[in-house]
Amino acid sequence: MRVLVTGGAGFIGSHVVEALTASGAAVRVIDALLPSAHPAGRVPDLPAGVHFVHGDVRDPVAVEAALADVDVVCHQAAMVGLGTNLDDAPMYAGCNDVGTAVLLAAMGRTGTARLVLASSMVVYGEGRYLCATHGEVVPRPRDPAALRRGSFEPPCPRCGADLAPGLVDESARTDPRNVYAATKLAQEHLSASWSRVTGGVAAVLRYHNVYGARMPRDTPYAGVASLFRSALERGEAPRVFEDGGQRRDFVHVRDVAAANAAAVEWTVGAPAASVRTFNVGSGVPHTIGEMADALAAAHGGPSPVVTGDFRLGDVRHVTACSRRAHTELGWQAAIPFEAGIAEFAALPLRR
């Protein structure tokens, strides 16, 4: 099987390349080595036999050339994180949505009919919440005044009572609450349109909070695990926003890579014009504060500082139910939180 991995030099993409190569696939990588993800501009070490193309998914000529003789595309290339402010919106839309549109158009021209798309849990917005009186409810957008008062938990939109967070599955409504989230959902819609027009097959993987080896150093576009790890490397205490009680599902990057390999295999037997969405998470929620504490303890650095700061585009709780991936892909996260964090604490970040 011949697989093109876009963004295959990046944090997640490079692990996907390794997993696919180990499964026997012939792998080609296209990556623009953007400074936001590759400050040094260096190509990382890739497994023997992997063909690297320095190109941008927004370039139709480079993409069509990279697609030659490819059976499956594993689309990892994207801008990630919340960015710094709304001025980042054109860059996010360009990298994520224009890049995906250019890729899908080229796949249509070349007849490449199978796709694995890296999406994100951010498309859900807030996760699943239950009110004791009104059942399942969707919280309203976050109130800046309440956040400034230190009131971080979303109340029931009908009665104002406290809510109980739960696991969100793929049937949940989508409700993107920041620019990055909007671009990831647009990628999903573009892929569904491609599937309908061409009869192609798409597996959409909604990653939860991925961490592990080769995370980039501290940048405005890094994930929270990278920000905490970068602080510890500088000898500083990790700065935890809000009260640290935000619930997330931290999933190790090697588990995410294995999910991609399983999804590639799934596309082989799926009926034409199939689009299927899969959560990729551990299924075991942890708070941001717990993760910061575990990382600091494993690294032997300063204890985290809870700041009370907030970002309006964040959500309070979102954690995964990944039962569908287990049932249909035969995939399940295998690396426990404690072991994964201990490993991550000892590894250098990518420069």
Write down the domain spans for the chain.
Answer: 2-128+166-346
Sign of CA dihedral 186, 189, 193, 194: positive
pLDDT of 234 over the 80 cut: yes
Residue type, 229: R
Read off the pLDDT band of 312 (50, 70, 90). confident
Q: How confident is the model at residue 217 (pLDDT cuts 50, 70, 90)?
A: confident
Whether residue 32 has pLDDT greater than 70:
yes
Query: Residues 2-7: what's their mean pLDDT?
Result: 98
SS3 306: strand
Q: What is the pLDDT of residues 181-213, one digit of tens each?
A: 999 999 999 999 999 999 999 999 999 999 999
33: alpha, beta or left? (left if phi > 0; alpha if psi -120 to 50): left
**Which listed residue (180, 207, 211, 221) is catalytic?**
180
Predicted confidence at residue 220, as pLDDT, reads 60
306 pLDDT exceeds 90? Answer: yes
What is the value of pTM for the model shown? 0.95
What is the structure's pLDDT at 149?
96
H helix or E strand, kind and range, residue 90: helix 89-92
Residue 211 annotated as catalytic: no
* Band of residue 222 on the pLDDT scale cut at 50, 70, 90: low
The yes-or-no verdict on residue 216 having pLDDT over 90 is no
pLDDT of residue 351: 67
The whole-number pLDDT of residue 221 equals 58
pLDDT of residue 12 exceeding 90, the answer is: yes
81, 212, 238 from 295: Cα distances, Å = 20, 12, 9
- Superfamily of 2-128+166-346 according to CATH: NAD(P)-binding Rossmann-like Domain (3.40.50.720)
Q: What is the mean pLDDT of the chain?
A: 94
Range name among 171-180, 307-316, 342-351 with the lowest pLDDT average: 342-351
First to last CA, the chain: 32
Per-residue pLDDT tens over the stretch 67-124:
999 999 999 999 887 666 788 899 999 999 999 999 999 999 999 999 999 999 999 9
